[in-house]
Amino acid sequence: MEAFSLAIAFLVIFLTISFVAFRNASNVGTNLPPGGSGWPVVGETLDFVVNPEKFITDRMKKHSPDIFRTNFFGEKIVIICGPNGHKFLFSNEDKHFTAYLPQAMQKLFLSSQPKTDKLYRDSDVKLLRSPGFLKPEALVNYVAGMDSIIQKQLKTHLEGKTEAKIHPFSRSLTLTLACRFFLGIENPERVAKLVGQFDIVTDGIHSLPLNVPGTAFYHAVKAAVVIRKELADVVAEKKARVLGSGAPTQDLCTTMIVGGYMSDEEITEKLMGLLVAGYSTVATTMTFVIKFVGERPDVYHKILSEQLEISESKKPEELLSWNDVQKMKYAWAVVCEAMRVVPPVLGTFREAITDFSYAGYTVPKGWKVFWTVNTTQRNPEYFQEPNKFDPSRFMKGEGMPLYTYVPFGGGPRMCPGKEYARLAILTFIHNMVKKFKWELVEPNEKILGSMMPLPEKGLPVHLHPRYV
């Protein structure tokens, strides 16, 4: 069956070669950035997904340290590199660039919408940054709820165990948090039903959009159908509650319904995209924090000391508050260093809405632009011993060189969920170090993934109750 699927896939590729060749030939440019396009249809996708950091570093050396062109995920792409590239892109949002989703993400998340960038239109960003959801004045009220949920999740899934896989647990935990604060649901069975489906979608969002049996995208399409149906049911239930006599739950779903300018279908699509974004990246950061802290007992004890000081200032059983989280300076430095060494997302895409010039080259309108954190965050020119895990980098007070540390992006499209992620991760760390000590089962576990990293075996750890 697998051989048949591959044969079909190659047939599809063969039949589209002439179309792609024609499309590429029509894209005349005398001053394009240096680079290449690779194979027809697949371009340089295979080289990219095998080792994206090496792919980019090699081509920066071969072509240009500032910008080069390539082709992956079925797109003609220029990759803008380094802090000057970040500054140029972040400073020219909406002038030269608009948000863009790769074809696989468009097909998975925007199947019912006519505009490819509708999920990220300005009105949606304003909604997310409104006081009703992700602004600090709203998040103040979420901290205690996050603390309570995380305590319950640790008790249910980790307490009493001598070994656990952190990555699957962190994914389940972050989806539970997202379901509570995005959807207003806390039904464990309902959340559990979604976890596996979101894992499948996450695997397929950065792949060639070949809907052929056996491919990651094929499985992602099927999982997206299940998720979309479940979310549509949630929206319908929530809408009935809002229109009924009961008080509506304060969550993003309710905010969208009360806003009244989106259809139920649009709300479902947006929630699906936001859940993926707020689920996988937060879970990845939690996972690699546990990895690096597990390797460094000195870091563990510094975090523990900070968190115990916070706990000792509170009454027994009292939940965390916004002010408590603001005191977690060292823990946040650890998180920042984890995101520097292993960014939760390699980078993001834009689309050129005009011809633009950069570093002496011209990029045509319609081309896709990709910026990546690894051209600065793991570059020895900006970070001494870049592969060394050293949270003290973020405790020195002078800050990082401009446009070199960009895990949340920058400019007007900086990730609106940054503060939500910070609260969730720090609340998790607070509870984890208070309850457990841990060591890595496999210290040399391989890190997989192209756009989103993941530990090959789920990051198994030996757990020890702290009070033993």
Q: Helix/strand/coil (H, E, C) string of the chain?
A: CHHHHHHHHHHHHHHHHHHHHHHHHCCCCCCCCCECCCECCCECHHHHHHCHHHHHHHHHHHCCCCEEEEEECCEEEEEECHHHHHHHHHHCECCCEEECCCHHHHHHHCCCCCCCCHHHCHHHHHHHCCCCCCCHHHHHHHHHHHHHHHHHHHHHHCCCCCEEEHHHHHHHHHHHHHHHHHHCCCCHHHHHHHHHHHHHHHHHCCCCCCCCCCCHHHHHHHHHHHHHHHHHHHHHHHHHHHHCCCCCCCCHHHHHHHHCCCCHHHHHHHHHHHHHHHHHHHHHHHHHHHHHHHHCHHHHHHHHHHHHHHHHCCCCCCCCCHHHHHCCHHHHHHHHHHHHHCCCCCEEEEEECCCEEECCEEECCCCEEEEECHHHHCCCCCCCCCCCCCHHHHHCCCCCCCCCCCCCCCHHHCCCCHHHHHHHHHHHHHHHHHHEEEEECCCCCCEECCCCCEECCCCEEEEEECCC
What are the contacts of 461-464 at 24+ separation with CB within 8 A?
A: 461/163, 461/164, 461/165, 461/166, 461/290, 461/294, 462/162, 462/163, 462/438, 463/158, 463/161, 463/162, 463/163, 463/164, 463/436, 463/437, 463/438, 464/162, 464/436, 464/437, 464/438
d(CA 155, CA 149): 10
Structure tokens at 199: 């894992």
CB 346 within 8 A of CB 301: no
253 annotated ligand-binding residue: no
CA distance 280 to 289: 14
User: Which residue numbers belong to the known binding site for heme?
Assistant: 415
Which residues are annotated binding-site positions? Answer: 415
